[in-house]
A and B are shown apart, each in its own frame.
Chain A
């Protein structure tokens, strides 16, 4: 029993910490979905841009991490704003098929990746582990510090987002805009501002997730896309449009991958993710936890 626990606990920790990462990206997706019914296919590149700005602040401007991190987050906010201004709102105004603004977000993300790539030569943007190389030890179990930070940040961000949505007027406006844009406009809510805000928030969350995971494995301009795909899968597996379900979905996926790695082989974890996705889409297309933490009145 002891042996099983010793093997099991680290797997859970790894699964939850990596899963939270994807869950955060999934959360970032839902912010935009809930305000505008759009999917931001440039989400991963938002994260990548945040990392790029943070790295630039550290390596070129020589700033310490505690300054560079917020600057990176501002970078994420900026790219969110840029995406919204240059492609999303113009296309929304044109009342084109929603397909188009979604591809627009991908276009801006690709441009960002292209620019960062050219500047860095597609080489790695080094961001070191926040708390150094040595792991923490809880009893006999070592915990990777970065993973712990990711889990902590996830909790903070989810709580903050919940607070924003449910306890502030701004949050109510955001929710209303997502629920029904025409009625919200009639009620005097500036829906275009809400959409803009949702992109900015999404950029902030993505940047935080990006910078947190950059020290784990050398991060370059191409690494936005895998993050976007995994985050999106987390969202679908968890529950479409439900931010808390997205985080839970990410954690579920992370756990599945970790368990597979621990008990079978790590060679096919990526393939396994897609198999899980296809299974969920086939058997329960609305996601595993679609109603998680959503008050009954708002459930569509």
Chain B
């Protein structure tokens, strides 16, 4: 176990060092892509705690993504707040929204939870799209730049800003996985009734997972909006919920590393096939199909299986 930690630490530090050095070589467009990946990885990590660890279903993860993005943006536009003041408020409001929605939604099981969370996701999207006075509606809004020490922050700044939070989020999930909370969540996933019989407060832990997912979603949202410079509801459609779910499955449900792999692939896919956009829908379907049918443990999971088989 200890040697695993050491190995993981070395790999992690190495990866972070490489990421920190990339802005020296890459242009703004590629940094933009990596920022985007970072944002979606945070979103996926959060969902992974709720769905991967705890085995629940959330088909409305884009809701918190949307809330986080719009809260910090609206505070900047309507009230003239600085981004760094709106940032914690966005996360706090996502937390509150998650708390509020945990009461009706977490009581449900299986399919009802799926449709309930989906409905929540769509409802938030509709609010963003239709209430133009508040959110700018379908046309979207320009997100004001942030000034620090008299200078407007550039894309590179946001790159490092997001990197910090991706690392923090990953570490959080990494340690959560091995902790008591993580074990409780997995007990719930494996057999909810057995877990309850063993004294696990199922509802408490489910809500914990849901709150983590909500806070991560809000964090991802506010980071996304600020680094993009432009915000519109099209980023938070029904389809987005599904894509995030596919990220988890492609990487490996329950695996943090899977979130990174899946997040990278699904985020970069539409940009890589620029010029063949008609095929995005088909490709998404094919990826989901392939993963479900042939790689149920995801890419990372399957590699891990192969490695353990080789070793054992």
Contacts and interface: CB of A to CB of B under 8 A. Distances in A.
| Contact between A and B in the complex (any CB pair below 8 Å) | yes
Interface of A: 39, 86-87, 90-91, 94, 96-100, 103-104, 106-115, 117-118, 121-122, 221, 225, 229, 232-233, 236, 240, 267-268, 270-271, 274-275, 277-278, 281-282, 285
B115 A86 contact: no
A281 B126 contact: no
A117 B282 contact: yes
B105 to A, nearest CB: 8
Interface majority SS (helix, strand, loop, mixed), chain B:
helix
16 contacts: A86-B293, A91-B292, A91-B293, A97-B55, A103-B245, A103-B249, A104-B293, A107-B288, A114-B280, A115-B282, A229-B118, A233-B119, A271-B123, A274-B126, A281-B112, A281-B116
Contacts of B123: 271, 274-275, 278
B296 A108 contact: no
A274 B119 contact: yes
B242 interface: yes
Given A100-B296, A107-B289, A278-B120, 9 more contacts: A100-B292, A103-B288, A111-B286, A114-B280, A229-B122, A240-B112, A267-B130, A270-B126, A281-B105
Nearest to A112: B285
Nearest to A108: B289
B107 interface: yes
Contacts of B245: 103
B287 to A, nearest CB: 8
B289 A87 contact: yes
Contacts of B107: 285
A207 B280 CA distance: 25
Contacts of A285: 107-108, 112
A114 B289 contact: no
B196 interface: no
Given A100-B296, A225-B238, A229-B122, A282 B111 contact: no
Contact of B285 (A39, A100, A113, A229): A113
